[in-house]
Structure 1
Amino acid sequence: MQKNHKITVVTVCYNSVSEIEKTILSVLSQNYQSMEYIVIDGGSTDGTVDIIKKYSDRIAYWVSEPDGGIYYAMNKAVEHATGDYVNFMNAGDLFFDDNVLSAVFEGKKYVDDVLYGYHILHFKGGYKPHYPSDPNVLNQGMMPFCHQSMFTKTCLLKEQPYDTEFRVFADYVYYRWLFNSGHTFRCVNKFVSVFSVDGVSASMSLAVYYEMCRVHGWKPKLSHFFTLYRKNMWRKVRYCRLKIFVKSLFRPDKYNVNLKRFKQIED
């Protein structure tokens, strides 16, 4: 009988008391049996740790202590991972439904280094599905998928951790390196995650812009920064609740104020 892949799901968080429980429940509600859960907290002081302790008997490993940021915490989690693949479902992120891991892994045997699926973008006004691009766009300055919807071989993450010198774009740098090193990627044709566009990587501060320039080899220009800043702010306006509601009347498969209106993709 074929043995299913063991999956390590990781949540990193810091002062996320308003969001951490829904993420924990989303992970623990998965009906896939071969899964372990790791939670790395950055030393929260707002009650986040109390919520983690509430579910500690179902968490394989957790710790709360100051660290060097998101990617530092993700690397720390991988040190304790024993699964074949790792997924990062951080505070505020959700699996699409309770059957995601089963839909992707039950009865399947993968040899690919990176598996990636689809995700649902959560704007303040509602939801919009996003379908990944081909991995070759990594060399065009674009991230074709999100880490919430990816499963990366644990052995790769242990051998080559995220570069913590990058505080926002370390995942992009990492997967661009994997792609250009000849590692294999496979789309699993399933909705995997739901995540908010208001996260750290979705903001456009000068610090984020300078890191972006470093990653892509651009020369920083104030005019370029303001162009990206306006584009980022306009995106938030474009997907206000009224607009998504109106669009959902005509394209409910593409826009909706209710997440449950979206259905999983069948094989």
Structure 2
Amino acid sequence: MSTTNQINPPKISVITVCFNASEYIGATVSSIVEQKSISFEYLIQDGGSGDDTLNIAGALLRDVPEGVEVSVVSEEDDGVYDAMNRAVERARGEYIIFMNAGDVFYSADALSKIGEILKVKSVDVLYGRHVIYSNDYESGEVAPRPIGCLWKRMVFSHQSMFAKRSLLAEYPFKVESLSSDHTQIYEMYSNGAVFYETELCICRYLDGGLSVQHYRRSILDRLLGVLKADGIFRFRSVQVVLYYILIFFAEPTIYEIRRRRKS
């Protein structure tokens, strides 16, 4: 892996996509503006909330630290992935991380630590550890699975990933898919993007997103994304299809059993 010798870390854009998220937006915004020892861009892409989401965010953004550039847009969109694509178009950082409503950085120096790594590592995607939490549960640190298993599932959380803005623009989110984050990352990986794993824990993310709420549809969308990226006639296609048939029936049941044990 090549290295760089930048004096300052590359500019990072932190993006929060939200809609009627007054219950969670405060923790997310607070976590971001409390990041220490680094300048960065913070973008909020709101879907036209009708609750107190923007009021809560606005109050917390009045006294942002010096060096933090803030931009807030509220407009109707076609869902979370459309909003994320719009935010990527607005962003000006070299790297982007999504920290959506309910997600928070693991520590106040998480962003500065990542900046120091990106200052010396020439990579397209950097990813690390995460913690999963809900109203009644919090995991320990979860390490990424081997990157070679990406055809099966997400091997790290989307909220623990820093990706080059140019790459996110080249591989935009598929608005109609419930596994668009996995499809996007798999396309990047399949086309030779350079991935780098750090042992740092980057985020705590809120469990229960769209893919969890509609588990079986998200599995089918994940399969379609892999087959499209690989090519349906690739030698591994039969293995891929058989694997996804198995998890289509087994994985939602396993997830529900684990969820009940946690609660």
Q: Could you state the TM-score of these two structures normalised by the residue count of structure 2?
A: 0.82
Q: Deviations over 1:99-138 (max 9, x none)?
A: 0011222373221000001001114233322100122111
Return the letter of the residue paired with 1:239: K
Contact 1:40 1:63 in 2 (8 A): yes
Say whether 1:233 aligns with 2:252: no
For 1:149, the equivalent position in structure 2 comes to 160
For the 8 Å contact 1:4–1:106, the answer to whether it is kept is: yes
- One-letter amino acid of the structure 1 residue matched with residue 258 of structure 2: R
Whether 1:49 and 2:61 are equivalent positions in the alignment is no
Distance 1:6 1:224 in 2: 40
Cα distance in 1 for partners of 2:251, 2:146 equals: 23
Cα drift, residue 232 of structure 1: 2.0
Query: Measured at CA, do residues 103 and 205 of structure 1 come closer, stay the same or move farther in structure 2, by a change above 3 Å?
Result: closer
Structure 1: runs of 5 or more not aligned: 241-267
1:186-216 Cα deviation digits (max 9, x unpaired): 0121000001222222234554354345345
Three-state SS of the structure 1 residue aligned to 2:196 is strand
Runs of 4+ residues over 4 Å off in structure 1: 56-59, 216-219, 221-226
Distance 1:204 1:231, change over 3 A: farther
Give the alignment of 1:9-158 within 5 angstroms: 9-57=14-62, 58=64, 60-106=70-116, 108-123=119-134, 124-139=136-151, 141-158=152-169
Which amino acid is 1:151 matched to?
F
- Secondary structure (helix, strand or coil) at the match of 1:106 reads helix
Partner of 1:2: 7
SS in 2 for 1:187: strand
Q: Give yes or no for contact 1:204–1:228 (8 Å, CA) kept in 2.
A: no
Task: State the percentage of identical aligned residues.
Answer: 32
Amino acid in structure 2 at the alignment position of 1:131: A
Inter-CA distance 109–147: structure 2 relative to 1 (3 Å threshold): same
Amino acid at match of 1:12: V
Paired residue type of 1:156: L
Distance in 2, Cα, partners of 1:122 & 1:15: 20
Letter in 2 for 1:27: I
Residues 1:2 and 1:205: Cα distance change in structure 2 (over 3 Å): closer
State the AA in 2 paired with 1:177: E
Of 170, 195, 202, which residue of structure 1 is paired with 2:180?
A: 170
Gap regions ≥5 residues in structure 2: 1-5, 228-240
Aligned pairs, number:
237
CA 1:71–1:38: 2 relative to 1, 3 Å: same
More displaced stretch, 50-59 vs 69-78: 50-59
Q: How does 1:214-229 map to 2 (within 5 A)?
A: 214-215=224-225, 218=241, 225=248, 227-229=250-252
- Between stretches 50-59 and 31-40, larger displacement belongs to 50-59
- CA–CA distance in 2 between the matches of 1:135 and 1:205? 22
Q: From the superposition, tell whether residues 26 and 227 of structure 1 become closer, same or farther in structure 2 (CA, over 3 Å).
A: same
- Tell me the C-alpha RMSD between the 2 structures: 2.3
- What is the one-letter code of the residue matched to 1:40? Q
- In structure 1, C-alpha distance between the alignment counterparts of 2:37 and 2:25, rounded to whole Å: 21
| Aligned counterparts of 1:145 and 1:193: Cα–Cα separation in 2 | 11
1:112 counterpart letter in structure 2? V
In structure 1, the partner of 2:221 is 211
Q: Is the 8 A contact 2:130 2:160 kept in 1?
A: yes
**Secondary structure of the equivalent of 2:169?**
helix
